[in-house]
Amino acid sequence: MIKILRFSLFILFFYIVNTLQSQSIEYSRLVADYPISVKTFPPEKQNATYVFAIDVSSSLEGFADLLRQNLHYFVNALPDGDRLTIIQEREPGQTGFIYLPNTLISGTSKVTFNNYLQTISFNNVNESDGFGMTQKIIDAIDQTGGTDLVYIFIFTDFEYYTRQNGYEINRCDWRSLEKRYEGIQMGRRIVKVGLQVPYTGHHPEAIFREKLNSIFNGVTYYPVIDQGSLENWFADIRANILRDRLRFIIEKAIIQEVKQTQFHIKPNPAGKSQQWINCNDSRLLNSFTLIEPQNLLQSSRPLIEWPFRKSSTHKATIKLSYSTKFDNPKGYNEIEKLLQDSNLQKVTVFVHYPPAYIPWWVALLISLILITWIWWIIYIFVKKHDRIWTISVNWKDPKGKSNNVSNTFKGKFTIGSGNELANHLPVSGAIWKIKIETIKNHPVFFWRRPGYYLTILEGNLLELEYPFGGPIKILGFRKQYFLSGPKRFKGGNLFANQEKLRFTVNIT
């Protein structure tokens, strides 16, 4: 009993040392390539979810020990906080989880998983329910408390066979799984890997690789030729996962920075545009280059500068340039090397117009003058101010005889002395003359009101009673008097006194 215990402790010590050494080698390789990035964004802070789906039918019997051993190493190397699910693919009803799905990794759960790994049997299992296995993979991802970085590893020959359906894979509702996956993948980075062991069957119509491609939006497949190729894959994936954690942390940080950043372009007719970014908390972004549309880089100088449109926004594809803080002494930018071709982004850019020939305030002044003149023209030539005037003049001559003359006019006319042929009412014996006219002055010239005006052309000290019964005003020679605004004339009298004559001009 003591010998068995010592042997078990030796094996456990061997696994721990091997795991720590493996972790140290892989981490050292990562640090060697990305020392600044690892220090700034420690990859161990990004937890991941792992789903292993393993075909335990006889087709994988030759890889059984190697799978158990490498899964053991893999589980022990996982940091606390990761999530793990192992699924066995076998006959319907037995295809399912080994231990609990989406288990939180801790010291206790690692021991439990490793114990369960030893119970996996690859003997006497001739059915492979690929549909049920895929269903369990989706169930595992859909668990509460999962992470946003997910790995799916599928070990099988990808041949479907059950006693109920035989090799007829289309008797299963694969489309329902595709719809479920569409809903649960949002906001997650899911890496899908299929490891295909040598296929020795005779039913290519039962291979469900294309079904998985359709459900998971593509799966990366690796052929497992022998035990050596499987062991090499495990070694590579452990190193790649560390790099993936680092990349995923940085990608999320870049997405956040892009949301907080304004991208600006100042085009110029020669195509030598200025491009710059505004971001208060930028750790990763340094600058950018416009990819398309290229027409945003060139802009002719506008004639008029618009005061409220000195810039406009456009959707554009840009190429990000990263901070020089991440320039590696070996001659490359670590962020650029890590992300490779994923530095293209679709963003909103602010395009700033070049200075115009005419400043906005000059254009505004010109516009106001033009509008004023147009309004004036409309006002003068369209607006109707003229009215029909009825004029009656009464007076008595020195012998006491009453005299009266009257007429109607439209527009400008005169009354009094003189014998003009048109628009004049002659008054016999008068030594005075008045003119009444309509002036269509534009309202913006507020100091000269539009309306009806009376002007003394001859004579002096005429009296104006306007309106009827109103106060009497004394009018002087050559003086122009405002009577009323358009259509507001109330009627009045004008009195002219000369020697023994008194003329009364009734204006209505």
The class level of CATH for 388-507 reads mainly beta
How far apart, in whole angstroms, are the C-alpha atoms of residue 478 and residue 462? 11
The DSSP H or E segment spanning 222 is strand 220-223
Q: For 400-456, how does the pLDDT look when each residue is reduced to its tens digit (9 = 90+)?
A: 899 999 999 998 999 999 988 889 999 999 999 999 999 877 655 667 788 899 999
Residue given tokens 């690796």 in the structure block: 222
3-state helix, strand, coil in the chain (%, to 5): 35, 30, 35
In 3D, which of 246, 327, 182, 188 has the Cα closest to residue 29? Answer: 246
Please report the pLDDT score of residue 385 as a whole number: 67
Q: Is the pLDDT assigned to residue 203 strictly greater than 60?
A: yes
Structure tokens at 176: 């329902």
Report residue 217 CA to chain centroid gap.
27
- Scan for tokens 């850019």, then name that residue: 349
pLDDT for 254: 94
pLDDT tops 80 at residue 63? yes
Confidence at 119, pLDDT banded by 50, 70, 90:
confident
**Position 260 pLDDT exceeds 90:** yes
pLDDT in tens, 276-316: 999 888 899 999 999 999 888 877 667 776 665 677 899 99
Q: Which has more pLDDT, 49 or 197?
A: 49
Q: Is the pLDDT of residue 66 over 90?
A: no
Say what the pLDDT of residue 141 is. 93
| pLDDT for the residue 273 | 85
C-beta separation of 505 from 415 below 8 A: yes
Question: 2-255 belongs to which CATH class?
Answer: alpha beta
Quick one: tokens of 242?
């560390």
Q: Is residue 96 predicted with pLDDT exceeding 90?
A: yes
Task: Give the Å distances, CA to CA, from 339 to 13, 186, 249, 343.
Answer: 38, 21, 11, 7
* pTM listed for this prediction: 0.63
Whether the bond between 302 and the residue before it is cis, its omega within 30 degrees of 0, is: no
What's the pLDDT band for 17 if we cut at 50, 70, 90? very low
CB atoms within 10 A of CB 198: 12
Q: What confidence tier does 4 reach under pLDDT thresholds 50, 70, 90?
A: very low
Cβ-based burial of 50 (10 A; exposed 0-12, middle 13-18, buried ≥19): buried
Q: Virtual CA dihedral for 209, 214, 216, 217, nearest 10 degrees?
A: 120
Token look-up 């994923």 returns 342
The CA distance from 168 to 171, in Å, is 6
The amino acid sitting at 236 is D
53-57, 267-271, 305-309 — most confident range: 53-57
Question: Which residues, at least 6 apart from 441, have a Cβ–Cβ distance to it below 8 Å?
Answer: 448, 449, 450
**Number of residues assigned to the chain:** 508
7 pLDDT higher than 60? no
Structure tokens at 55: 């075909």
How far apart, in Å, do the first and last CA atoms of the chain sit?
Answer: 137
Cα angle, residue 37 at apex, residues 324 and 15 outer, rounded to 5°: 160
- The amino acid occupying position 18 is N
pLDDT of res. 61: 79
Q: Does position 363 have pLDDT exceeding 90, yes or no?
A: no
CB 118 within 8 A of CB 137: no
Q: Helix, strand or coil for residue 137?
A: helix
> Closest Cα to residue 310, out of 278, 356, 272, 343?
356
Provide the residue ranges of all domains of the chain, joining segments of one domain with +: 2-255, 262-352, 388-507
What's residue 19's pLDDT?
41
Task: State whether residue 506 is helix, strand or coil.
Answer: strand
352, 266 Cβ separation under 8 angstroms: yes
pLDDT digits (tens, 9 = 90+) for 18-49: 443 445 677 888 999 999 999 999 998 899 99
Q: What is the pLDDT of residue 193?
A: 96
Confidence of residue 73 (pLDDT cuts 50, 70, 90): confident
**452-470: pLDDT as tens digits:** 999 999 998 899 999 998 8
| C-alpha dist (Å) from residue 388 to 56, 399, 409, 465 | 112, 34, 6, 20
Mean predicted confidence (pLDDT) in 129-136: 97
